[in-house]
Structure 1
Amino acid sequence: MRSASIGIGVGILTVGLVVPALPQGNTKKDTKVVSYANDVAPILKSYCYSCHSGAEPAADLNLAKTDFTKSDVIKLGDPEHSTLIRRMKGLDGLPSMPQGFKPLEAAKIQVIADWIKQGAKVDKTLEKHWSYLAPVMPEIPQSMTKWGANAIDAFTLEKMTEQKLKPSPEASKEMLCRRVYLDLIGLPPTVAEVDAYLSDKSPNAYEKLVDKLLASKHFGERQARGWLDIARYADTNGYEADRIRNAYLYRDWVIDAFNQNMPYDRFTVEQLAGDMLPNATIDDKVATGFNRNSMFNEEGGVDPAESFYNVVIDRVTTTSTTWLGTTMQCSRCHDHKFDPFTQKDFYKLYAIFSNVQYRRDGDYSKSFSEHWIEPEMRVMQPQEKAKYDVATAELATLEKQRAQIMADNADDYAQWSKAAAQPVPFVTPKVESVVSDAGSSPTVAEDQLIEVGGKNPDNDQYQITLDLPKGDLNGLCVRTVPAKGKPQGRASSENFVLTDIGLTVDGQKVRFAQAKADFVQDGYNVRKLLNGDRASGWAVAPNYADDHCLVVQFEKPIAGNKAVLTLGFHSKWKNHNIARFRVGVTPSKYPLLDTMKVTDQNRTDAYIATSPVGYVLDEKIEDVKNKMGILESESPVALVMEEKPTTGKITAPVHHRGEFLSPGDLVEAGTPAVLPKPEGNANMNRLEFAKWLVNGKNPLTARVEVNRIWEQYFGRGIVETLDDFGTQGSPPTNQKLLDYLAVKFVQSGWDMKAIHKMIVMSATYRQSSAATADAMEKDPTNVYLSHGPRFRMEAEMIRDSALTISGLLNAKVGGPSVMPYQPPGIWDSPYNGEQWMESSGDDRYRRGIYVFTKRTAMYPTFATFDSGTRESCMVRRIRTNSPLQALALLNDKAYLEAAKALGQEMLAKGSLTKGITFGFRAATSRRPTTQEIAVLEKAFNQFESQYTKDPGQAKKLGKDVNEAAWTMVGNILLNLDETITKE
């Protein structure tokens, strides 16, 4: 009978043949129980899944699904007769698997062989990938050595021992000081700070230094740098237009949160749903800027509904990457090919993030395409808030005085109240003439409508002669008369600004008591018309379509025949002259009532406004309110989230193949089925989702965060793929350590500073970064941590270090983004015309985290050093090496300026050797060797000789030859590999 066969890749697996016996695995009773999830699956994933997984696996053998254990490629308990093992070893005259690649290591094949010998078990608790199982506190390994400072070291030493590696000695005090400064605050220590640490001989000197740095205001800046990559924070909207947005308040919130050691669970909830917390504070709402950092497409022809769809997609993928370490975006179009996430899972999350306000006006009757602008909130800064509080107290005092006026004038109020019920009789007097002082052309219609045409000067003034009716008059009004195609103002905006008003009757000047208008533009005060304050006056933006009325009340009744009314338009706004209006006069004792709609509810306010004493008080109140309004309007804007009111469960359609135009069946908001269900019966929304992430039972949240923190210190996560804890991600190099850190993190109350301190206090972290030959051979990438970390700094840290070393750094924390020097022309490519306006003074020397981030034109030296574009969530920067990086540090103006400042500091030390020693210590935190001093002294002398021969070149670097030579020595020091490397 012909034997059964199955093809794997392009080879053939033959089953049922008589084969020579294979060597047995370890048959001792203490043979380690092989875990499918922890031991076998990672090997299969790394070497087999590329062909044998997915929708159409090679040879119809899907090794990503655990049911392959029931196929004929495995003979349970008998690895030597299992086709899977034979093909891996390349027996039976067939190529070894994986075909076309380097053969599997014998040790890895033995792991799978032991697993088959033990029955190839995949029990129900292990059918899930390791990361979807809740971490449990592992037993801390016991060591016969005395090496180690905390539990971290027990776990790392166990791995080193397995690889026959030994830990390195502790780094020198200088190097350890520099390392922990860079790691905790992102800045190198000054020479004085190094000396202070070296002089502390106490046994806990290092711990005191760590505590000092954890308490530093710069700790938050250091930690926020990485988080802003994750949050895709930028100062512009992205896409082609890439216009500026005001987002820095979110950045400052992140810095403050890290500095305050906000627990990570609270840190999570506030960013995802701070607006939904009970009695949400301003800070709670600002935190939701995390998901307002999405790019915003303003290109012509974009469908707002589709753009909103893409924004929500971004929020789902960013949130999943950040807290779940999951490539959830793969499920947008179809069920995930490798991980247990379905397309329905994706749109359950989509529903959560889609239920947000997207209309500032709250009118959801309009179609989506008419208006999509998510909420913004003005946030007063501390200095302005103090002024606002003073104004608020002043306003309360004035309001109290108003109440007293009402109490003191009860009888007069009763009489006035009767008059208020009657209309104010205004009479339109005949206009004899209108003259413009600036050459415009006024005309008067039969109905006494005055219309001004012709030339429209920057400023104008009208003299209007009127025939007055007989009898006493108490007030005058100017009423605008807009008509279709005929605006009330002559400015291009249709506005006007009346700054002056005067009246004479039969040659005698009339004194005005009060002025009031039915509508006044924000920031303007018609009362200022009466005291000559041309910075204010009467303007009506944005209400141009309606007619408006300004009324002035006379100090005492007047009577006469001829009146001359003067209207002046002398504001700073050019051409803001009035175009169409009528003039009226009235005998009414209460002329200002014409500007008010008096109701039972507002009679008190109306009466106060018509009282002479109340009028003055109201003027003060209006001034205070205007001051408060200006403080509010000038406050920076925060982009925030706001939940849309809804009843019942939130739903969203599943889009066929992820296409916006192909919505399908609805799914309810929810969480991925493979992960633990949320507790309770509350309807799922952003707040419930955020709570679910950090309820302590989610197997991913704590692991993902402590893994990112670990990567910050060692240059590589315990799981190298920080954004992928799924089956296609890298397996943990030390899962027990990862789970220990994750469980401790939750047990500590999600205390972030506690995790940071545990890591930097460990002996593992404090090792020298000098690797032995044995370590380089056995562990060239330091996976098993037999020596300390050593890798190039990130982009912002390189610049911050140069500024610190040179003494230029402006250490201010928070505030608007700055624009330090960058080469010309960087912003010429975007079409929107915005310019890089170079900051002045000390703002040029602020930390990199505050440098303005434009998505389509990143700050060039940061981009050169792998900073990314902030267009999407980035949890890890991949370091590159290129000649451009060296050229940037050698020639960029910012670094040359730092070199010059460092040179001047060295020059001030009084001698060549002292100057070089100081500069070297400032750059590297250690003392130079005799040979290093000699090399730098030789370089100085060469530069001095060169610039003596060519003083013109020297002038480009300093005021004289000596300063130029020191600048070049500073340039050398800032470009040392040791200067830009953490080791």
Structure 2
Amino acid sequence: MRRLKLICSLLALVVAWRDASAADGAGQKVDFARDVQPILSDNCYRCHGPDSGSREADLRLDLPDPKLGPFALRDGYSVIAPGKLDDSVLIMRITSDDSDVKMPPLKSNRHLLPGQIDILKRWVQQGAPWGKHWSFSKPIRTQVPEVMDRTWMRNPIDAFILARLEKERIKPSPIAEKHTLLRRVSLDLIGLPPTPQELDAFAADTSSNGYEKQIDRLLASPHFGERQARHWLDAARYADSNGYSHDSPRSIWPYRDWVINALNMDTPFDQFTTEQLAGDMLPRSTLSQKTATGFHRNTQINTEGGIDPEQFRVEAVVDRVGTTATVFLGLTIACAQCHDHKFDPISQEEYYKLFAFFNNSDEPTVNLTGLTDSNEIAALKGRVTRLEDAVKQKVSGWESTLTDVQKKTLKRPAQAALSIAMDKRNDKQREAIEQALRSADNDFGAVLDDLLALRKQLAEGVTTLVMHERNKDPRKTHILIKGDFTRPGDEVTSGVPAVLHPMKASTTKPTRLDLARWIIDADNPLTARVTVNRIWQQYFGRGLVETENDFGSQGIAPIHPELLDFLAAELLANQWSLKHIHRLIVSSATYRQSSNARPDLDNVDPSNKLLARQSRMRLEAEIVRDVALVSSGLLNEKIGGPSVFPPIPDGVMGLGQVKHEWRTSTGPDRYRRGLYTFT
């Protein structure tokens, strides 16, 4: 009997605790962007979102539309009645046990969890306050939070991190040992390990700003631009070849060098952006600014026979639209090519308005060096002469060793040329013999290729791919039905999505230059956030927004939203200086923490999202190779120049439809950084 009373008492306590918790929960404020919108986006937008083509019941749950939105009065009822659970059809449908009534429907293979239903109910009880998706509102410079342990902090970043840790009753990790810290920051900033001398000097430096001096040294290194260019070039889809099945080489490495130089000079990100998107349209544009437009010449180029050029021109424009939206705005808009976006308020018409910005561009090749410098011309001629002498000696030596039997194995043009004295041969005869020797001697092939490249450079100079706006016969842009270039629909002119800030256009028909200026406008809610988030990801393995390319409604909400907005505002306040953000992050106590595993974090933060320690990250393949080269004393630290061909396994170049010859570089070029490897 006594045992039964004890059980009943415990049950009563559990029920009371549950009821108290429910009461407390009803009082907790629900945030629309953080709590409600992710639920609606994941479970409702497919049928009740921006895409008018798939929308059911003329209901939108992505916007408080006065006619189609959830608050609109429909035959005496509202889908959502603020403050009134019993009058809200949404609540009735998501809590119903009737399969014909319940939402989401069973056929959708989606269902709401009890906690999600509770959030929606509390939101309606609290008046169903609506708000924009968090990333579509302009970032506000948030106040640095107060913390209890101010001695740990090095700069404002630490206050945001520590405030959250203190809320969760978690202590940060101690600072990493000096040799670990210098190795970490060296690899992160320049992609190369510190030398033994640099490690010794840092260990012996007892000054209070010894670490900060190392940061300044690394930021000033010309290798900083190389390290950061690796990240940017990946986003810019840089490649030295055209893609598709032929995948033939192209000359675009001057764009790569432009990126390196721009990052080394800390070119403000607004200028960095404008020159890449519309450098050719700037007043009195320079060759450097035109070279920057190679950003959008990194599209694939199809050189196969029998293709429709217009199809692949349109595909290149589609690529430019998607890349611009993803890299600068953190938005995935590709689905709007065929229909209205299903999750974000971007219509198909707005997609083709963006398409129009890039649809009127031509794709020329420009000569970067007219070789007017007499010293440069003389130097090139000297290199050509030396290589020509080397080729002659190689050919002469090879000919002297050929037997009659070996001569008969050669192709007929080479056999015929061998019967003529060396100084009497014409260009075709010399070429026939050189090609025969190339087949027998790979090293000779490399020398011959260098000679041919230098001759071309002497004749033409260095060329690169750029963008150029058409002045005559401007192209019209049409909505392409289902994205099919053979099915043009209504004509549209250039413009931007209405959900974002309006464009301040210079003409009635906005241009690429207007688009670039709109992207870097201080009123743009996305660009600064996306940019600082990418930088943060480099140093901690994940961004403050984990979905770094999707700041839309399907993306993951920021882990530290106030810190993200602080950094975005900091970038703007410091004239878009990227080095300022890099310095701020790597000088923080958060970055300096030890990365040692902590058992006390295994349950409370197993993924290290709260950053109570530094993250452990693998080096990229290119950096692993660079570290091996510098450790062995072989690294060639030359900055810039044409791409090189380090050794690769046999057969790799034969994996594609067309087998290209990989002429392994010789001499110092064999040991250049991975950034310069032909891709």
Shorter-chain TM-score: what band?
Answer: 0.7 to 0.9
| Structure 1 residue 331 corresponds to structure 2 residue 320 | no
| Structure 1 residue 34 corresponds to structure 2 residue 30 | yes
Question: Which whole-Å CA distance do the structure 2 matches of 1:800 and 1:120 have between them?
Answer: 55
Which residue is equivalent to 2:563?
737
Which residue is equivalent to 1:77?
83
Question: Which whole-Å CA distance do the structure 1 matches of 2:492 and 2:174 have between them?
Answer: 57
Partner SS state of residue 296, structure 1 = coil
Which residue is equivalent to 1:44?
40
Question: Which whole-Å CA distance do the structure 2 matches of 1:711 and 1:238 have between them?
Answer: 29
1:693-772 counterparts in 2 under 5 A? 693-772=519-598
CA RMSD between the two structures: 3.5
Equivalences, count: 588
Partner SS state of residue 26, structure 1 = helix
Partner SS state of residue 638, structure 1 = strand
1:284-323 counterparts in 2 under 5 A? 284-323=289-328
Question: Which whole-Å CA distance do the structure 2 matches of 1:797 and 1:631 have between them?
Answer: 31
| Structure 1 residue 666 corresponds to structure 2 residue 491 | yes
| Structure 1 residue 193 corresponds to structure 2 residue 198 | yes
Q: Which amino acid aligns with 2:572?
A: V
Question: Which whole-Å CA distance do the structure 2 matches of 1:837 and 1:119 have between them?
Answer: 70
Which residue is equivalent to 2:513?
687
Question: Which whole-Å CA distance do the structure 2 matches of 1:575 and 1:757 have between them?
Answer: 58
Q: CA 1:83–1:768 in 2, change beyond 3 Å: closer, same or farther?
A: farther
Partner SS state of residue 709, structure 1 = helix
Q: Which has the higher helix share?
A: 2
1:881-900 counterparts in 2 under 5 A? none
1:608-647 counterparts in 2 under 5 A? 633-646=459-472
Q: CA 1:663–1:787 in 2, change beyond 3 Å: closer, same or farther?
A: same
Question: Which whole-Å CA distance do the structure 2 matches of 1:96 and 1:304 have between them?
Answer: 48
On the 8 A contact 1:650/1:668 being kept in 2, the answer is no
Which residue is equivalent to 2:600?
774
Partner SS state of residue 157, structure 2 = helix
Partner SS state of residue 602, structure 2 = helix
- Given candidates 360, 379, 386, the residue that maps to 1:355 is 360
Q: CA 1:210–1:74 in 2, change beyond 3 Å: closer, same or farther?
A: same
Question: Which whole-Å CA distance do the structure 2 matches of 1:838 and 1:575 have between them?
Answer: 24
- Given candidates 221, 230, 238, the residue that maps to 2:226 is 221
Question: Which whole-Å CA distance do the structure 1 matches of 2:606 and 2:86 have between them?
Answer: 34
Q: CA 1:86–1:169 in 2, change beyond 3 Å: closer, same or farther?
A: farther
Q: CA 1:775–1:23 in 2, change beyond 3 Å: closer, same or farther?
A: closer
Question: Which whole-Å CA distance do the structure 1 matches of 2:430 and 2:579 have between them?
Answer: 61
Which residue is equivalent to 2:238?
233
Which residue is equivalent to 1:380?
369
- Given candidates 115, 119, 125, the residue that maps to 1:117 is 125
- Given candidates 265, 271, 278, the residue that maps to 1:260 is 265
Which residue is equivalent to 1:133?
137
Bigger Cα displacement from structure 2, 684-693 vs 52-61: 52-61
Q: CA 1:74–1:184 in 2, change beyond 3 Å: closer, same or farther?
A: same
Question: Which whole-Å CA distance do the structure 2 matches of 1:800 and 1:255 have between them?
Answer: 17
Q: CA deviation at 1:90?
A: 9.1
On the 8 A contact 1:22/1:80 being kept in 2, the answer is no
Q: CA deviation at 1:347?
A: 1.3
Deviations 1:79-101 (A, max 9, x none): 59967668878999999989878
Question: Which whole-Å CA distance do the structure 2 matches of 1:49 and 1:803 have between them?
Answer: 52
Which residue is equivalent to 1:675?
500
Question: Which whole-Å CA distance do the structure 2 matches of 1:673 and 1:811 have between them?
Answer: 48
Q: CA deviation at 1:304?
A: 0.9
Question: Which whole-Å CA distance do the structure 2 matches of 1:84 and 1:24 have between them?
Answer: 21
Q: CA deviation at 1:207?
A: 0.5
Q: CA 1:381–1:253 in 2, change beyond 3 Å: closer, same or farther?
A: farther
Q: Which has the higher strand share?
A: 1
Question: Which whole-Å CA distance do the structure 2 matches of 1:320 and 1:761 have between them?
Answer: 31
Which residue is equivalent to 2:70?
68
On the 8 A contact 1:322/1:723 being kept in 2, the answer is yes
Which residue is equivalent to 2:5?
none
Which residue is equivalent to 1:450?
none
- Given candidates 203, 206, 214, the residue that maps to 1:209 is 214
Q: CA 1:166–1:56 in 2, change beyond 3 Å: closer, same or farther?
A: farther
Deviations 1:114-160 (A, max 9, x none): 422220011xxx2x321111111112211122132111112222332
Partner SS state of residue 238, structure 2 = coil
Q: CA 1:809–1:667 in 2, change beyond 3 Å: closer, same or farther?
A: same
Question: Which whole-Å CA distance do the structure 1 matches of 2:112 and 2:193 have between them?
Answer: 46
Bigger Cα displacement from structure 2, 633-642 vs 713-722: 633-642
Question: Which whole-Å CA distance do the structure 2 matches of 1:170 and 1:38 have between them?
Answer: 33
Q: CA deviation at 1:353?
A: 0.7
Q: CA deviation at 1:110?
A: 5.4
Q: CA 1:810–1:89 in 2, change beyond 3 Å: closer, same or farther?
A: farther
Q: Which amino acid aligns with 1:653?
A: H
Deviations 1:513-567 (A, max 9, x none): xxxxxxxxxxxxxxxxxxxxx99xxxxxxxxxxxxxxxxxxxxxxxxxxxxxxxx
Q: TM-score, normalised by structure 2?
A: 0.79
Partner SS state of residue 654, structure 1 = strand
Question: Which whole-Å CA distance do the structure 2 matches of 1:166 and 1:52 have between them?
Answer: 44
Question: Which whole-Å CA distance do the structure 1 matches of 2:419 and 2:597 have between them?
Answer: 83
Q: CA 1:243–1:27 in 2, change beyond 3 Å: closer, same or farther?
A: closer
Which residue is equivalent to 1:183?
188
Deviations 1:32-62 (A, max 9, x none): 6533123321343356657875665799976
Q: Which amino acid aligns with 1:676?
A: H
On the 8 A contact 1:69/1:120 being kept in 2, the answer is no
On the 8 A contact 1:376/1:640 being kept in 2, the answer is yes
Q: TM-score, normalised by structure 1?
A: 0.55
Question: Which whole-Å CA distance do the structure 2 matches of 1:349 and 1:168 have between them?
Answer: 47
Q: CA 1:25–1:52 in 2, change beyond 3 Å: closer, same or farther?
A: farther
Q: Which amino acid aligns with 1:375?
A: P
Q: CA deviation at 1:718?
A: 1.1
On the 8 A contact 2:505/2:514 being kept in 1, the answer is no
Question: Which whole-Å CA distance do the structure 2 matches of 1:81 and 1:783 have between them?
Answer: 40
Q: CA deviation at 1:267?
A: 0.5
Which residue is equivalent to 1:618?
none
On the 8 A contact 2:41/2:343 being kept in 1, the answer is no
Which residue is equivalent to 1:270?
275
Question: Which whole-Å CA distance do the structure 1 matches of 2:287 and 2:134 have between them?
Answer: 40
1:484-883 counterparts in 2 under 5 A? 571-574=426-429, 633-646=459-472, 651-682=476-507, 683-853=509-679
Which residue is equivalent to 2:388?
none
Q: Which amino acid aligns with 2:642?
A: P
Question: Which whole-Å CA distance do the structure 1 matches of 2:525 and 2:163 have between them?
Answer: 24
Q: CA 1:385–1:830 in 2, change beyond 3 Å: closer, same or farther?
A: farther
Question: Which whole-Å CA distance do the structure 2 matches of 1:225 and 1:58 have between them?
Answer: 45
On the 8 A contact 1:85/1:113 being kept in 2, the answer is yes
Question: Which whole-Å CA distance do the structure 2 matches of 1:47 and 1:159 have between them?
Answer: 30
Give me the identity figure in percent.
46
Greater Rg, structure 1 or structure 2?
1
Q: CA 1:652–1:206 in 2, change beyond 3 Å: closer, same or farther?
A: same
Question: Which whole-Å CA distance do the structure 2 matches of 1:74 and 1:276 have between them?
Answer: 50
Q: CA 1:301–1:783 in 2, change beyond 3 Å: closer, same or farther?
A: same
Q: Which amino acid aligns with 1:703?
A: R
Which structure is higher in RCO with an 8 Å CA cutoff and minimum separation 6?
A: 2
Bigger Cα displacement from structure 2, 724-733 vs 629-638: 629-638
